[in-house]
Amino acid sequence: MTHAFLQVERRERFAIVSFNRPERLNALVPEMLAAFDDLMADLDRDPEILAVVLTGRGRAFCAGLDVAVLQEVGPTPFLPFDPARTIANWRGPVIAAINGAAATGGLEIAVACDLVIAADSAVFVDTHSRVGLLPGWGLSARLHRAIGIYRAKELEMTGRPLPAAEAYEWGLVNRLAPSAELLDEACDMARLIATGAPGLPAETKALIDGGSMLPLEAALEFEKQFSSRRHTISGSDLSFDHLGMSR
């Protein structure tokens, strides 16, 4: 599946998806958002694809909505789409490879990913407050869970850029890499994830994401119930209890 504004490369057990409007810093337009939903659904149906690396062509990861198009056509054509939800709902891990600026809606997309690897020259910025908008793709719910409520308020209220090194210190980024090595680093992570037991990357994502929104006692019960539904390991009929393994 191909689209003018997206590129996809299938590799062994994972795929690389690239935003492809480099002349507009990969700013999002409605047809690009629709194609992204279709592409992620297509990858979801492919049992050989266990993880996705998401990046951008050119010097930006994603600049959020294309403001010029938004001003021309209004918000209505954008309303059906929520790429952050598409990422969160994708069955397996999505690894953001932040090659440049992740701005506003692009930051919301990055924060929705399961792992974030950034080039040392990358920058994160939320300009919602500067352009008179509020987040709509989950930034206010996700960002403070990643970096803490005070830091999230600082970024969202001031609109100041957050350099990659500082984002790493704050816990927004898993790893930093030189720009020339960024994609290789992200692909190595995807390969490592894909070597896990069949089904485990998707189940681990569902388990952690599901429990992360609950109070501790409820999260512990969620883990117990979730794990108890998985009765087999590597195709055998042995349960965790049969193996004497603690859950």
* pLDDT(240) > 60: no
Is residue 75 assigned to a domain? yes
Is residue 222 assigned to a domain? no
Instruction: Look up residue 127 and give its two tokens.
Output: 């300009």
Q: Which residue has the tokens 């930093």?
A: 176
> Would you say 89 and 132 are in contact if contact means Cβ atoms under 8 Å apart?
no
Instruction: Look up residue 88 and give its two tokens.
Output: 């969160």
Measured CA to CA, the distance from residue 218 to residue 161 in angstroms comes to 36
Instruction: Quickly state the pLDDT bin for 231 (edges 50, 70, 90).
Output: low
* pLDDT(1) > 60: no
The residue range of the domain holding 23 is: 6-194
> Would you say 103 and 139 are in contact if contact means Cβ atoms under 8 Å apart?
no
User: How high does pLDDT run on average in the chain?
Assistant: 91
Measured CA to CA, the distance from residue 120 to residue 131 in angstroms comes to 27
How many structural domains are present in the chain? 1
Is residue 74 assigned to a domain? yes
Is residue 160 assigned to a domain? yes
* pLDDT(233) > 50: no
Lowest model confidence (mean pLDDT) among 5-14, 146-155, 211-220? 211-220
pLDDT tens figures, 94-144:
999 999 999 999 999 999 999 999 999 999 999 998 888 889 999 999 999
* pLDDT(244) > 60: no
Is residue 209 assigned to a domain? no
Is residue 229 assigned to a domain? no
pLDDT tens figures, 182-229:
999 999 999 999 988 888 889 999 999 999 889 999 999 999 999 888
> What is residue 246's predicted lDDT score, i.e. its pLDDT?
36
DSSP annotation of 121 reads: T
Is residue 15 assigned to a domain? yes
* pLDDT(232) > 70: no
Question: What is the mean pLDDT of the segment spanning 87-95?
Answer: 97
Q: Which candidate, 170, 151, 169, 171, places its Cα nearest to that of 160?
A: 151
Measured CA to CA, the distance from residue 115 to residue 17 in angstroms comes to 15
> Would you say 73 and 29 are in contact if contact means Cβ atoms under 8 Å apart?
no
Is residue 202 assigned to a domain? no
Strand order in the sheet with 175-177: 6-11, 14-19, 51-56, 94-98, 115-119, 175-177
**Domain with 119 in it: what CATH number?**
3.90.226.10
